[in-house]
Structure 1
Amino acid sequence: MTNQRNGRLALVGVGRMGAAMAAGWLRKSEGGVPADKLLFVEPELQGPAKDLADKYGVQHLTQLDAETAKTVDTIILAVKPQVMEKILPQLSEVAGEDTLIVSVAAGIGLRAFEKAFPGRPIVRNMPNVPGAIGKGINVAIANERADELKLRDEAETLLKVTGPVEWLEEERLMGAATGVSGSGPAYVFLMAEALARAGEAEGLPADLAERLAVATVSGAGAMLEQSLADGSASAADLRRSVTSPNGTTQAALDVLMGEGGLPSLIHKAVAAAEKRSRELGSAKNDKG
């Protein structure tokens, strides 16, 4: 590496996910990013982003200029894919040769970023929606230059503020990860929605059915997370443990696990999301 890294970071895009990441960095006493090392790059700060800037005194620029870029170690791109296409040319001109580029934009592959930032270390990350409250999961991949400079740990420290980071060695698997964790929260929300409507159809008041469904989904998720963390049980183990032979749960699972049931539907859903992710990524990368 030509220069010692100073920890200064430019966050390009301070929307919901960007602001959530910034809030996590600023709150952490260890492993975070001090306010004087953080720079918001956004045409206009609004909502949580403006509140953070006002509270912590974070510097704000409408565009990352060449002089400021010289002082930055890392640029995190947290903008929508359609915005990314507009800002990459300007950022490419000002980013330093060893500046770590980290993208949290959906669907844009390493090839597009390597074309925009030739020779730079790049990490592509896919967070998911629960990351906005620090309960997400990240799936990341690094290019060869990032690995040469041993920057995975630095990237992971920044990204894990929204949740754990899982690294891929093959970018082609990003579509499958998208189908499971990127799109996955919507499947869970649909499950809660369907569960509530089913309870309502059986006579429960709508507000009570919704409360029961939400508490059931969130409680089961917390129980699964704890069981996996301490190694006591898998999802299948927990399912079996709450299923009494010939009981009510077994009657319900006979429907859900029957031919064309939930396992088959989820398989088809993830496959459809993976396919669409590859299609969108191919289209964006061809433009890049």
Structure 2
Amino acid sequence: MSVAMREAFGRHLAEMGKTHPELVVLDADVSSSTKSAFFKKEFPERFYNVGVQEGNLAGMAAGLATCGFHPVINAFAIFLSLKSTDQIRNDICYNNLPVIIAGAYGGLSDSFDGASHQAIEDIAILRSLPNMEVIVPSDARQAELALEYALTRKNPVYIRLNRNAMPDIDTDRDEFFKARAVKIRSGKDVTIAANGITASAAVEAGKLLEAEGIDAEIFSVPFVKPLDSTSIFESAEKTGALVTVEEHLLAGGFYSAIAEDGLKRGLKAKVAPIAIEDKFGETGPYLDLLAKYGLDSKSIANVVKKLLNK
């Protein structure tokens, strides 16, 4: 089990600050939660707490980006994607500015605060914006790599961060920097493409399926935009079946991106999505919520078996 994604990201921010003098961090009075406080401790003169005003947070970042800085705005994903949408669209994306939008507590991971704090529509909103790239790391290592990658970009990048510690996925840095899907396991019967933290559940589902004679090829897919549909579709056409998994509403997220490309390219495979079906989350332990919304290993395995008529 790795460290919590927010912890890894916060510590890596401070590390990257040593080699990137253009890096500045803006906070909405939540640095103890997002762990951007590590950067604040190391570089207080490059850290700005603007208070609980996420729209202004994004607007200030845009201004700093026009002055040669590479800003990171780090706050809760739900508030960045909703309260800052105007400024992200018109100030950051319209002007194609190099601002890193680090949305902490993504998905259902702010589990005990319930629907008001759970970001399950953020990917749909932010991937629709021109010039924006969208990355949903699977673990702490991918969160660190996402930051390093984003610092090489001259355009806006959204990184969705989970609150909790999740099992590690073996990720090659060079492949990540090519925005590739990460093949975790080879197989011949079905392709499972898992976005974000669902990759670890997909790995466990693969073990359950193997015990029943089903050989799954499994991908961790951190990049929603740009999407490496080529790797996923080549696998799906080999196996004949594709299951997508995401910690997001079905509408507008990872599956929607897959479906858009699939229709354009004439994907020849049976497809079944696993996502949250048109409802808000609720309060409860995180792993229990994942299971309730079908994002645990047993649920994934059951969808695979249904798709394969097993």
The TM tier, using the shorter chain, reads: 0.3 to 0.5
Q: Which has the larger radius of gyration?
A: 1
Higher helix proportion (structure 1 or 2): 1
Higher strand proportion (structure 1 or 2): 2
